[in-house]
Structure 1
Amino acid sequence: MTRASTRSALSRKYLPMRQRLLLIPEKADVERDAVATAWKGAGGSVMRIGRFWDPPDVDRSRVHVYGNDTFCLVLAEKLSLQLVSPSDHILASIPKEFARREIRILPLADLKADAFPVFVKSVIPKQFKSAVYDSEASLTAETQGLAASEEVLVSSVVTFVAEARAFVLDGSVRACAIYEGEASAADAARFAERIVSTMGAPTFPRTCVVDVGLMEDGQWALVECNAPWGAGLNGCDPAPVLACIAAASEPK
C-alpha cells in the first residue's frame, strides 16, 4: 500500500458519520429498514436505489453498501468499491477445536456414495441449496447442470440446539444475538471472539459476521462466516452493527 492510499484509508476510517452515505435496495425489508433507521439516527445519510445497475452519481469516498449479494456486487463494480468478505474457503481452514466436526472442500465428482448422509454447500455462494443430503441421488438432482469439478464444502452432520450471529470488527464482537433456540448470547460472543482472535489475519478480514452454534454436548462450534455488507441482523441491535457495515465496503 502506498503512502497516499494509506492516508486515504485512515481518513476514511475516521470519516464522521454525518459524511457517510449508505446505499440500500429500494424494496422494503424489515432488517435493512432497521439498519437504515439506525444509520440516519447516527447522523448518516441513506439512499434507496432501484436501478442499482445504473447508479446515480455519488461521491464514492463516502459511500457504503448494504443489501443482497447481487445489489452489492454490482454496485461495487459500478462504483469501484472493495467489498470486505471472508474467504470462501474459511471453514475448511478452521481447526477442529473450533469447527467441532470434519469439514473439507472437494470437487463435486469426488463425493462418493458411501459418504452420505452429509451436509453439502457450494463454495461459490448459492450455487445450490445448502442442506443435509441423504443420498448421492438427492444431491445429483439438486446440483444438476453444475460441472463435476465444481468445488463443494462437505461437513459431517451435527445438531445445533441453538445458533447465534456475531458482528466482529477489529477482533471484537460489536453485536451478538441468538437467532435459533435458546442459549447465552454472551457465551456465543466470547466463543466467536476467541475464534477470530486465535486465527487472526489473514484468515479473518478486519470485519466479519461469525455464526456459531451450541451443540448437544454443550460445546460451541463455528457454523459459518459471512460478509457484513450482505448479512441480516438475525436479532442483533443495528446500532453497534453500523461500524461493521461501514468497514465492509471502501473505495479501491
Structure 2
Amino acid sequence: MRTRTLFLSPRVNATGQALADAARRRGMQVETLRDWRVPDEWRGTPGATLYAGPLFADVVAGEPGLGLGLLEAPPDWLARLPYELKGREIEFSTVAEARQLRRPAFVKPPNDKSFPARVYPDGSRLPGPDAVDDDTPVLVSDIVAFAVEYRLFLLDGQVRTGSRYFARGELDVAPLDEDPRRDEVLSFAARLSEMGLPSAVVVDVGLRAEDTPRWAVVEANAAWASGHYACDPDAALDVVLRAARPVAEFTAADRQFLRPLPEVVRD
C-alpha cells in the first residue's frame, strides 16, 4: 500500500499541526512547502493531499504542481438551498451587481477570500474594480444573527466530526459530542445529505437568534481549507483526504465539484 503524503502551506496553523499529527499516526508523510511553488521532486507525488488556504492552493494544487483536484461546494449552493434550510434570502450575484445595493447586506465571496465577508452598509462600500474584478461571484444575504454555530465535517453526507465554535456573540469552542444540542445539530445536518454537496465538505450550521429559534445553514466550506476548532483531527483528516487528492482518484459524481484551478506558468 502506497504511503500518502500531506502537504502543508508555509504558514502552518493549529489545524495544519493537528492534521499533521493525525497523519503521522497513520504512517503518512508530512511535508511543509517553503514557498509558493512545488519543488520538482514533489510534483505529482502519488497519494498526495493538501491542507492550505484557497489562494495558496490555487498556486500549488494543480499542474505542474501537486496534480491534485480540490472539492468544494458550488458557488451558488447556499443561494439555491430551500428557504427552510437557510432561513433568509440569499442571492448569487457578481460584485459589480452588488455594488449597486442601496441597503445593508451581508456580502461574501462563496469559495475564497478575495475581499472581507461582512455586513456592508450599502454596495458603495464594497471593494472597487481596482481591487476586485467586476465578475467576481458573491453571495448577498439578508442580515441575520445566530445564537450558536457549529462546524461539521461531512463525508458521504454523514457527519464525521463536529464542533461548536460560536455562542452568545463570541468564540466558544467545544466538541459537538459535549454540546447539549448535539442531537438537534445532527438531525438538521441529516437533511443536507441530498442537497447537492460533494462527498467531502465542511458545512457550518447555526441556531437563529430570534423569538422562535430555527436551525439554518450558515455556509459551506472546503474541507482542505477549514479550521477544525474542537473537531476530532483524525476524523477531519478522513474528510480532507477525500477532498484533496490526485485528480484521477475522483469519482464521476465528484468531478462536478472540483474547484477550477488557474493555469500556473513555471519558469
- TM-score normalised by the chain length of structure 1: 0.82
Deviations 1:158-202 (Å, cap 9, x if unpaired)? 11011110000011100011000176244223322321x232xxx
Cα separation, 2, equivalents of 1:135 and 1:89:
21
User: Which AA in structure 2 matches 1:208?
Assistant: V
Q: Is the 8 A contact 1:24 1:65 kept in 2?
A: yes
- Following superposition, the deviation at residue 134 of structure 1 comes to 1.8
User: Which AA in structure 2 matches 1:219?
Assistant: R
Matched, 1:194 2:195: no
Secondary structure in 2 matching 1:214: strand
User: Which AA in structure 2 matches 1:181?
Assistant: A
Cα separation, 2, equivalents of 1:134 and 1:223:
20
Q: Which residue of 1 aligns with 2:173?
A: none
Q: Is the 8 A contact 1:178 1:185 kept in 2?
A: no
Deviations 1:34-64 (Å, cap 9, x if unpaired)? 1111111122221111134133423632111
Q: Structure 1 residues 85, 136: CA separation in 2 closer, same or farther (over 3 Å shift)?
A: closer
1:207 is matched with which residue: 200, 206, 209?
Answer: 200
Secondary structure in 2 matching 1:79: coil
Cα separation, 2, equivalents of 1:248 and 1:44:
17
Q: Over the residues paired in the alignment, what is the CA RMSD in angstroms? A: 2.1
Q: Is the 8 A contact 2:104 2:119 kept in 1?
A: yes
Secondary structure in 1 matching 2:149: strand
Cα separation, 2, equivalents of 1:143 and 1:122:
14
- TM-score normalised by the chain length of structure 2: 0.78
Matched, 1:102 2:89: yes
The structure with the largest helix share of the pair is 1
- Following superposition, the deviation at residue 147 of structure 1 comes to 4.5
5 Å-filtered alignment, 1:133-212, equals 133-139=120-126, 142-143=127-128, 145=130, 146-181=132-167, 184-195=181-192, 197-199=193-195, 203-212=196-205
Matched, 1:40 2:24: yes
2:239 is matched with which residue: 221, 237, 244?
Answer: 244
5 Å-filtered alignment, 1:2-81, equals 19-58=3-42, 60-77=45-62, 78-81=65-68
Cα separation, 2, equivalents of 1:143 and 1:185:
42
- Following superposition, the deviation at residue 97 of structure 1 comes to 1.1
Cα separation, 2, equivalents of 1:148 and 1:227:
24
Deviates more, 1:81-90 or 1:145-154: 145-154
Q: Which residue of 1 aligns with 2:225?
A: 230
Secondary structure in 1 matching 2:231: coil
- Following superposition, the deviation at residue 86 of structure 1 comes to 1.2
Q: Is the 8 A contact 2:49 2:246 kept in 1?
A: no
Q: Structure 1 residues 110, 48: CA separation in 2 closer, same or farther (over 3 Å shift)?
A: closer
- Following superposition, the deviation at residue 67 of structure 1 comes to 1.4
Cα separation, 1, equivalents of 2:104 and 2:231:
33
User: Which AA in structure 2 matches 1:101?
Assistant: R
